[in-house]
Amino acid sequence: MKYLSTRRRHPAAKPLILVLALFLVGAVYALVIPSSQVSAAPGLSQQVQEGKALFQVSCSSCHGLNGEGTSQGPSLVGVGAASVDFQMGTGRMPMARPGQQAPRKDSEFSPEEISAISSYVATLGPGPGIPAASVVDPSKLTDEELARGGDLFKTNCSACHNVSGQGGALPNGKYAPPLTGVQPVHIYEAMRIGPQQMPVFSKNVITDEDATQIIGYLETVQNRNPGGGLSLGNLGPVTEGLWAWVVGIGGLVVIATWIASKGARSK
Amino acid sequence: MAKPAPVADTRDPGSATTTSKRAVSARDIDLPPVMVKQGGPLAKWADDRLGVGGLSKFLMRKIFPDHWSFLLGEIALWSFIVLLITGVFLTIWFKPSMAEVEYVGSYQLMKGMMMSQAFASTIDISMDIRGGLLLRQMHHWAALLFVAAMFTHAARIFFTGAFRKPREINWLIGVGLLFLGTMAGFSGYSLPDDLLSGTGLRFADGLMRSIPLIGTWAEFFVFNGQFPGDLIVSRLYMVHILLIPGLILGLIAAHMVIMVYQKHTQFPGPGRTEHNVVGYPLFPVYIAKMTGFFFIVFGTITLFGALVSINPVWTYGPYNPSQVTAGSQPDWYMGWVEGAVRIMPGWESHWGHTTWSWNVFVPGVILLGAFFTLMALWPWIEHWFTGDERNHNLLDRPQDNPTRTAFGVAIITFMLLLQFGGANDIIATHFKLSLNAISWFLRFAIFVVPVIAFWVTKRICLGLKKGDQERLLHGSPTGEVHRDANGAYIEDHVPISHEEAFALTAIDAPEPLTVAAQADAHGVRRTDGDVSAMRARASHWWSESNIPHPTREELEEAHSHHGDGHEIEPADKH
């Protein structure tokens, strides 16, 4: 004790204590905080560098040189790799022109380039990652699980996307896009990131098993659903009514005209 | 007190003139020759017992005029027959129960799901029962065609004035049939208990609840408690397969009998007057045409059922009140009411502890009621305008009564715009439009566009009438233009045929009503047939732009200098 008590008034004591305290706080902080979900592994740094270069050429005019966002586009800090994979994989980003909503189109980028940019954006802040292939593979689902996916889809998704995924209208020219031909991984990512008008369906709401079942249902209903013939766009009574009037009444009126003008040789 | 003398009533149904004492010989058979020839002993057998001879003599020579538009009602009739046939098949398999069962059929995407028995049996009909899907789709297509054909038929009756005296009763029956047909369709597509039909029922539930003061009680009465309850499917089943078809059958019978009794209307033409019917007899001409058309309608519906998907209930899945899919629409005949509800601003009043949902009540209940009321009352509304008391067996062409035609087109325009409102989300996604823009456009367009349609139609009708008058007075242009010695360009005209001239002058528009003198010559106040000043003004407005037929003098005058041709460009301008 004598050692400490004799030196506590030493001029260096205060600075030393401060340094010690800072070191202690830093050490505890480093131990306690969670590691970020996506950390750039040493082997990927090359990919991150490529992604950053691509980002600065193709994305930065709207999203800022460091993804911090501008008046033209939102910040990408914390959107995660899944966002980039979804937006660029479905061709929505880069946008062809500003508008209510970015439409789906063929992507201008190769999968490697998208992967590079998404790993760069993932370094900006933690966010949802790209799912493992097994999560979005519905091939092992049973019929009951597919049916359950249908029920989940109808409860959570069909109000905007239509019961068979044909899409639907939202206010002011916005819309829920059709889900025909969308890759399973993009359906999964859309649920997690909530792109554009779509709300986020987190893992607490729709678990990974639920998501797989929804993906399986959509794939089945769109590719292997028995039809009653010509589908008329799967749009329901509007196109059915149009068919009944144009082809049905229209066709029968043509025939009625023919009947009325023919065959009256009763002499 | 003398007993009344017994009267021998003839009991021989074969002929009212033969007494029972006379032996029936071959001569007494009241059969048309063709039936004797074709039917042989069977015809005699039936005639002896039921007197079919007299009836068939009457019916076989019944004359019907020929026009394509007279076959529109037949489309409705034949679709109804198809509905009955296919409907009987569906009742064999359909289970009208809302009891919860687990699905055990073969459809993959329903495996293990809980659903109502009604829905499960609909899936069974569609997936597991031989021919079930074909018959189900035929039934639904026939229903769409049935109502569409009734609307088209009603439009034909309206635009040709066939509802006028003496046919007002048949018009009323027709309006009743149209209403019942709509209700039949609605009750029918609510039965499968799939997501779409449940949503439709929810809509109907909303209409009921919006009725001021009694709405909630009405809902509880119909659904036996709160929506959806567990009885509505079995109740609608009764309505759909017993009540409404029974009423429709009865009304169709009355419709037909009255039509036969009053004889069919005809368009004006040579030899056709208000007092005859010119056409072909039922046998053999119309029997052949009607049978042929029946098979064509049946065949068309069968083709639709086989080739074109309608209401794929397995995609919609069982009804669950927590689910509403985008693109939920009713069948087309309720689409205009749906549209009216969609574009209505959300007005609502709260008075005391009552809620007045104008946003649903006005576009739903009131509009639907007003449409059918206006339609039912139309013969009397038009009579109020024209004061026309004459019998009409000759039809107007649409242009012969420009105001009526214009009004009809305005109503159709109004309903078509509302129909667009009902499909606003489909239009928005497929034509890249904004939902809000469509709603705002329609909120004004339903008032403005019908007025424009009224005016444009009236001008077109008057133009057509003017063209008729030109043909009557100056003949038909030949298309040969030549130049005379003075340098004027002249187009040659040839007189139109007597047949055409007859047809063009057969219809007389009634004179507009005038205010009658309030008192007669002796100063006695009149009490009969008063025409109010307002009615006279309305009558004048109705017929002010009518173009009267040229008089005999005008026609003779025009024809006497015929041969001069028709000057296109007067010579003195050169």
Residue A234 is predicted with a pLDDT of 84
Q: Is B268 helix (H, G, I), strand (E, B) or coil?
A: coil
pLDDT mean over B225-243: 94
Strands B349-351 and A168-169, by their bridges, are unpaired
Strand partners, A31: none
Is residue B34 over pLDDT 60? Answer: yes
Is A53 annotated as contributing to ligand binding? no
Beta carbons of A168 and B429 less than 8 Å apart: yes
Residue A172 backbone zone (phi > 0: left; psi -120 to 50: alpha; other: beta): left
The yes-or-no verdict on residue B26 having pLDDT over 60 is no
Asked if residue B275 lies in contact with residue B268, where contact means CB atoms within 8 angstroms, the answer is no
User: Is B325:A158 a contact under the CB 8 Å cutoff?
Assistant: yes
pLDDT at res. A267: 37
Query: Per DSSP, what are the bridge partners of residue B356?
Result: B349
Of the two residues B456 and B501, the one the predictor is more confident about is: B456
Quick one: which H or E segment has residue B553?
A: helix B552-560
User: Where do the H-state alpha helices sit in B308-422?
Assistant: 313-316, 332-343, 358-360, 367-386, 402-422
The pLDDT mean for chain B works out to: 88
Nearest-CA distance A125 → chain B (Å): 36
Which pLDDT band holds residue B358 (cuts at 50, 70, 90)?
very high
∠ Cα B491 B494 B500 (to 5°):
130
Q: How far apart are CA A143 and CA B241, in angstroms?
A: 35
Domains of chain A: which residue ranges?
A: 42-122, 138-223
Cβ B150 vs Cβ B175: under 8 Å: no
End-to-end CA distance of chain A, in Å? 138
How many Å apart are CA A208 and CA A244, to the nearest integer?
43
> Given this model, what pLDDT does residue B410 score?
97
Any chain B CB within 8 A of the CB of A223?
no
A62 appears as a binding residue in the annotation: yes
What single-letter DSSP state applies at residue B239? I
Residue A190 CB coordination number (10 Å): 23
A112 vs A45, which has greater pLDDT?
Answer: A112
Mean pLDDT, chain A, whole residue set: 87
Partner-chain contact B289 A259, CB within 8 Å? yes
Q: Is pLDDT at B179 greater than 60 in this prediction?
A: yes
Instruction: Tell me the residues of chain A between 58 and 87 that have a Cβ less than 8 Å away from chain B.
Output: none
- Compare B554 and B79 and report the one with higher pLDDT: B79
User: CB-based contact (8 Å) between B137 and chain A?
Assistant: yes
The answer, yes or no, to whether the previous bond of A94 is cis (omega within 30 of 0) is yes
Q: What is the DSSP string of B72-110?
A: HHHHHHHHHHHHHHHHHHHHHH------EEE--SS-GGG
A226/B127 CB distance under 8 A = yes
Q: Do the domains A138-223 and A42-122 match in fold?
A: yes
* pLDDT (average), residues A51-78: 90
Whether B75 sits inside 8 A of A249 (CB atoms) is yes
Query: What average pLDDT does the segment A107-123 reach?
Result: 91
pLDDT digits (tens, 9 = 90+) for B480-524: 998 989 999 988 888 888 888 888 888 877 788 887 655 566 666
Residues of chain A with Cβ-Cβ distance to B310 below 8 Å are: 228, 240
Q: What pLDDT sits at residue B327?
A: 87
- CB contacts < 8 Å between A and B, how many? 216
Indicate whether B419 pLDDT > 50.
yes
Mean pLDDT lowest among A105-109, A226-230, A260-264, B421-425:
A260-264
CA triple B313-B305-B111, angle to 5 deg: 30
Is B426 within 8 Å of A151 when comparing Cβ atoms? no
Binding residue per annotation — A63? yes
Q: Which residue has the higher pLDDT, B530 or B99?
A: B99
Q: At residue A12, does pLDDT exceed 70? A: yes
Q: Is the peptide bond before A226 cis (omega within 30 degrees of 0)?
A: no
Give me the count of residues in chain B.
574
CA distance B83 to B252: 14
User: Tens digit of pLDDT for each residue in B195-204?
Assistant: 999 999 999 9
Count Cα atoms within 13 angstroms, Cβ side, for B371: 22
How long a stretch of residues is chain A?
267
The reply to whether residue A154 touches residue B426, judged by beta carbons under 8 angstroms, is: no
CATH fold for domain A42-122 = Cytochrome Bc1 Complex; Chain D, domain 2 (1.10.760)
Please check the confidence at residue B574 and state whether its pLDDT lies above 50.
Answer: no
Would the CA dihedral through A166, A168, A173, A177 be positive or negative?
negative
> CB distance from A1 to chain B under 8 Å?
no
Q: Which CATH number applies to A138-223: 1.10.760.10, 3.30.70.890, 3.40.190.10, 1.10.10.10? A: 1.10.760.10
Whole-angstrom Cα distance, residue A190 to residue A156? 13
pLDDT digits 0-9 by tens, A184-204:
999 999 999 999 889 999 999
Interchain pair B332, A241: CB under 8 A: yes
* Adjacent-strand bridge partners of B305: none
- Can you give the pLDDT at residue A161? 93
Tell me, yes or no, if B431 comes closer than 8 A to chain A by beta carbon: no
> Chain A within 8 Å of B278 (Cβ-Cβ)?
no
Tell me whether strands B63-64 and B100-102 are parallel, antiparallel or unpaired: unpaired
Burial of B314: CB neighbours in 10 Å, binned 0-12, 13-18, 19+? buried
* DSSP H helices in B161-243: 168-190, 195-210, 215-223, 232-238
Of the candidates A146, A150, A169, the beta carbon closest to that of B429 is on A169
pLDDT at A218 over 80: yes
Contact of B227 with B202, CB cutoff 8 Å:
yes
Query: Does residue B175 carry a pLDDT above 80?
Result: yes
Report the C-alpha gap between B317 and B140 in whole angstroms. 18
Which of B244, B251, B241 has its CA nearest to residue B73? Answer: B251
The percent of residues above 90 in pLDDT, for chain B, comes to 61
Q: Residue B24: its pLDDT value, please?
A: 47
- Alpha-carbon distance B323 to nearest alpha carbon in chain A (angstroms): 5
Beta-ladder partners of B375: none
pLDDT in the model for residue B309: 94
Residue B568 has pLDDT above 90, yes or no: no
Is A155 in contact with B66 (Cβ distance < 8 A)? no
User: Could you tell me the domains of chain B?
Assistant: 29-61 (no CATH), 65-333 (1.20.810.10), 476-573 (no CATH)
pLDDT of residue A153: 94
3-state secondary structure of A229: coil
Contact of B374 with chain A, judged by CB distance below 8 Å, is answered with no
Query: Between chains, do A150 and B112 touch, taking CB under 8 Å as contact?
Result: no
Residue B532 pLDDT more than 80?
Answer: yes
CB count within 10 Å of CB B481 equals: 14
Give the rounded percent of residues in chain B with a pLDDT score beyond 70: 90
ipTM score of the complex? 0.88
C-alpha span between B393 and B207 (Å, rounded):
41
Determine contact, residues B86/B146, Cβ cutoff 8 Å.
Answer: no
Beta carbons of B144 and A241 less than 8 Å apart: yes
A156 touches chain B (CB under 8 A): no
Residues ≥6 apart with Cβ < 8 Å to B216: B209
pLDDT tens figures, B441-455: 999 999 999 999 999
pLDDT for res B392: 92
Q: Is the pLDDT of residue B18 over 50?
A: no
